[in-house]
Amino acid sequence: MCVITLAKKRTGVLAPKRFVQRVRKQNELFRSYMHQDAHEFWNFLVNDIIDILEEDCRTANSSPETTPEEVSNGAANALANGARERPLVTLVHRTFQGILTNETKCLMCDTITAKDETFFDLSIDVEQNSSLTSCLKSFFSTEILNGEDKFFCDKCSSLQEAHKRMKIKKAPHVLVIHLKRFKYVEQLSRHKKLSYRVVYPLELKLGSMSEDADCEYSLFAVVVHVGSSPNHGHYVSQIKSHGNWLSFDDDTVQISEESTLQTFYGSSREHCGGNTDHGYILFYERLGGKS
């Protein structure tokens, strides 16, 4: 891979403290000691790494000995001479990127309009005493477009009632799921944390939510938010390595029992002054097959 060859000095093991210091130096958002959102940080980190790797690949591509990889379904970019090139594929794309298909079916002529979009994670709403599977099914459920929300059908040349739904067209190697536990409440004029109990499985099957119905994943990491408020708290991680679950709390790493994951499901009652440790971002690795 051209990135590794070109950027040997920029790869390797970095101490967590030094890593955070580097992030704060490069991005104003993280320079303060204010509480930051882990999902926002994830998005920042993914996009920043992509920018670095793409820059390195473009630099390496200036040498006649190297050729950039291409995105199989990516949109082509226009070049000055009229030629077309496809976007570069980085390690981040190959690991985390998937493709969603938005389908809208006109109920008058049955014409289906489809549009693809890429994603690095899925942000899903949570409900009290639910499961991750049920929340995903709700996320991918069919929506009826009627009344003021009617769909303009090109074939009918008019507004029509329609069914709209999403499906995973290409499942990523690592599926990242963000549980939307922070909700803005208009009556309070502020965000509040939803401590809802959401059970997430160790093994996840996408079924009808994906074009590959046999697509199956295994949980290997959970980012946990500790605290009762969006503005205050702490993040810890549970990560599976070599068959063992490990608990990461700043610079403290300890072996953890698999059963500990159940303590991060949430509270069965909305107002609970007990456990405030709740699963926030889930990482699932695809099992077998093509990714």
Query: Which residues of the chain are in CATH 3.90.70.10 domains?
Result: 121-141+173-291
Q: What share of the chain is helix, strand, coil (3-state, %, to 5)?
A: 25, 40, 35
Whole-number pLDDT of residue 287: 93
Give tens-digit pLDDT for 76-85. Answer: 444 444 444 5
d(CA 56, CA 79): 19
What pTM did the predictor assign? 0.82
Choose between 19 and 164: higher pLDDT: 164
Band (pLDDT 50/70/90 cuts) for residue 145 is very high
* Element at 179 (helix H, strand E): strand 174-180
Band (pLDDT 50/70/90 cuts) for residue 170 is very high
Give tens-digit pLDDT for 33-67. Answer: 666 789 998 998 898 889 888 888 777 776 555 44
Share of the chain above pLDDT 70, in %: 77
Domain 121-141+173-291 indexed as CATH 3.90.70.10: yes
Position 70 pLDDT exceeds 60: no
Band (pLDDT 50/70/90 cuts) for residue 20 is low
Position 11 pLDDT exceeds 70: no
Distance from chain centroid for Cα 282:
9
Burial of 186 (C-beta count, 10 Å sphere; 0-12/13-18/19+): exposed
Give tens-digit pLDDT for 230-284. Answer: 888 899 999 999 999 999 998 889 999 999 999 999 988 766 556 889 999 999 9
